[in-house]
């Protein structure tokens, strides 16, 4: 019943791009940012230049309240790269604003992860200017 924690420094890190930089800047500021399409009124994630639903280039950044629920999950016991600490719980979260994000669950146990679990976003600086978004069980 080990409580899952964030990954340590030394793991392969994401490389922010021109389109994803606002998202990563949000993580560093403790904010979960997503895009909203002004043409079709839908939440969009991953960061993109145009809406994945209607192709309009009317995307504006918004800040999520950071609360949602687990849509799907799995547990990794044998990581693909040796720098990762296993086990870790990979989850797809549907946030209350309507977008989904692939992330890891921490602050809970492997046994606790389930579809529908309410979660909240949390952030951890992993070094090299990158702060990673995670979710943890919403205990409020
Ligand atoms: Zn759209």
91 neighbors 119 (Cβ within 8 angstroms):
yes
Q: Report the Cα 5 to chain-centroid distance in Å.
A: 15
What's the gap in Å between 87 CA and the centre of ligand 1? 37
Across the chain, which has 140 residues, the per-10-residue mean pLDDT values are 91 95 98 98 97 96 98 95 94 98 97 97 95 95
What's the gap in Å between 74 CA and the centre of ligand 1? 30
What's the gap in Å between 61 CA and the centre of ligand 1? 13
What's the gap in Å between 59 CA and the centre of ligand 1? 8
Q: Write down the pTM of the prediction.
A: 0.94
What's the gap in Å between 68 CA and the centre of ligand 1? 22
pLDDT score at 104: 97
Cα–Cα distance, 71 to 94 (Å, whole number): 6
- Could you tell me the domains of the chain? 21-137 (2.40.50.840)
Q: What one-character DSSP code corresponds to residue 9? A: T
pLDDT digits (tens, 9 = 90+) for 62-95: 999 999 999 999 999 999 899 999 999 999 999 9
pLDDT score at 2: 87
Please choose, from the candidates 64, 35, 63, the residue with its C-alpha nearest in 3D space to the C-alpha of residue 47: 35
What's the gap in Å between 42 CA and the centre of ligand 1? 6
């Amino acid at each position: 019943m080990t409580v899952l924690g964030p990954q340590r420094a030394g793991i392969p890190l994401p490389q922010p791009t021109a389109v994803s930089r606002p998202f990563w800047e949000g993580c560093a500021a403790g904010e979960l940012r997503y895009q909203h399409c002004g043409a079709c009124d839908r939440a969009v994630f991953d960061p993109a230049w145009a809406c994945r639903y209607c192709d309009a280039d009317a995307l504006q950044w918004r800040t999520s309240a950071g609360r949602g629920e687990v849509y799907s999950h799995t547990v990794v016991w044998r990581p693909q790269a040796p720098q990762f600490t296993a086990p870790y719980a990979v989850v797809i979260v549907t946030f209350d604003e309507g977008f989904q994000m692939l992330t890891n669950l921490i602050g809970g146990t492997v046994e606790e992860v389930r579809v529908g679990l309410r979660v909240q976003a949390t952030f951890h600086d992993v070094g090299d200017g990158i702060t990673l978004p995670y979710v943890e069980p919403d205990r409020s």
